[in-house]
Amino acid sequence: MTPGQIALRALIVGFIVSFAVITGFAYTTLLERKVLARLQHRIGPNRAGYIPLPRRGGGPERKLLAGFLQPAADAVKLFFKEDMTPGKVDRITYMLAPMLTVMPAIVLLAVIPWAGEINIFGAEFTPYFAIAPGLNVAVLFILAITSISVYGVVLAGWASNSKYAVLGGIRASAQMISYELALGLTVLIPIMLANSMNMGDIVAAQANGWFVFRQPIAAVVFFIGMMAELQRAPFDLLEAEQELSAGFNVEYSSMRFGMFFMAEYMKMIIFSAIISVLFFGGYRGPFVDELPGLGFLYMILKIVFFLFMMIWVRASLPRFRYDQLMGLGWKRLLPISVFNFIFTAVMIVLYEEGIFDSLLQLIGLG
């Protein structure tokens, strides 16, 4: 393929994947509201859009797909709300901050493998289906982009010219930096196990067993760090309503507020895909070698599972105090990540040097 054809294919695949994730963001909000309602014994969205089904013998009608148009109703509401800009804000930064929050979430989609080598309408996608397949520094790319995403939150707080917003932005920067250390060390574990930073190679290395079974500690630490990076409960200290009046985005309204909202839920989907690739086999599953299209289904199922886990944690655990939040990151997760990284590296070197084979031979001779 010529460079022009490669670029055109990347644009088409990028548009399709981005559209799917943006649509998925809308219905992730509905999933969260439905699951929270069920877990907390409440009535979730059940008015906006449903199919009425009459009951046999009369009685109140049944509602099929009750509330499935609620995301559309919320979008329309945000579009038509008054867009207020407070006085004495830094206007350029104030307007750019929501975009700087959404853009990293979209850029992260580039390196995620959604299926193996597949043929779609005569087009061959090799070595796997992704916007930018075969990138040999894909994990480094993910770490770099997730580090950039903090700027949108910090600049939103600073540009708003509000003490509450500034405090929220400072909390965001401290929280993200604290948990990125543990997250970065944990990401090195699947890189060492697969001997590659290519996301496709990491998935291929899990053909005979997911990395979560070899490194459950790393998977748990990654999930906790992921929740902190997403500012999801119980790590949502930067928008603690009882302390900061909604934090860094308190001065935003209409679709500017909606962009922060969209970035959070898009990152939920993307980080669910990343942990699926790093520790849970990605698109691999039963019969995926014979039917490569099943890879899309396995990825969707794994993403929905981790979305449910995040919602379940939000429904179950109370918010941390700020000192507890920082203590968990620096005094617990960071030492565990450092020890686990060193232990894994030593074990890999001993295995490659054949030390374990020699020990087994000695035990056999004994």
The CA-atom distances, in angstroms, between 40 and each of 29, 163, 167, 232, 359 are 16, 34, 31, 18, 54
Gap between the Cα atoms of 302 and 210, Å rounded: 13
pTM of the model: 0.91
Q: Where are the alpha helices (DSSP H) in 241-293?
A: 241-244, 254-279
The DSSP code sequence of 135-192 is -TTHHHHHHHHHHHTHHHHHHHHHHTT-HHHHHHHHHHHHHHHHHHHHHHHHHHHHHH
- How confident is the prediction along the chain (366 residues), in pLDDT tens digits per residue? 678 878 888 888 899 998 899 888 888 999 999 999 999 888 888 888 777 777 776 667 777 778 888 888 888 888 888 888 888 888 899 999 998 888 988 899 999 999 999 988 778 888 899 998 888 999 999 999 988 888 888 888 889 888 888 887 888 888 888 898 899 999 999 999 999 999 999 999 999 899 999 999 999 999 999 998 888 888 887 666 556 566 778 888 888 888 888 888 999 999 999 999 999 999 999 999 899 899 999 999 999 999 999 999 999 988 888 888 899 999 999 999 999 999 999 999 988 888 877 777 777 654
Q: Are 101 and 230 in contact (CB under 8 A)?
A: no
User: Measured in whole angstroms, how far is the alpha carbon of residue 334 from the centre of its chain?
Assistant: 20
Q: Are 118 and 111 in contact (CB under 8 A)?
A: no
**Residue labelled with tokens 């979430």:** 105
Give the start-to-end residue ranges of the domains of the chain: 3-44+81-365
Amino acid (one-letter) located at 247: G
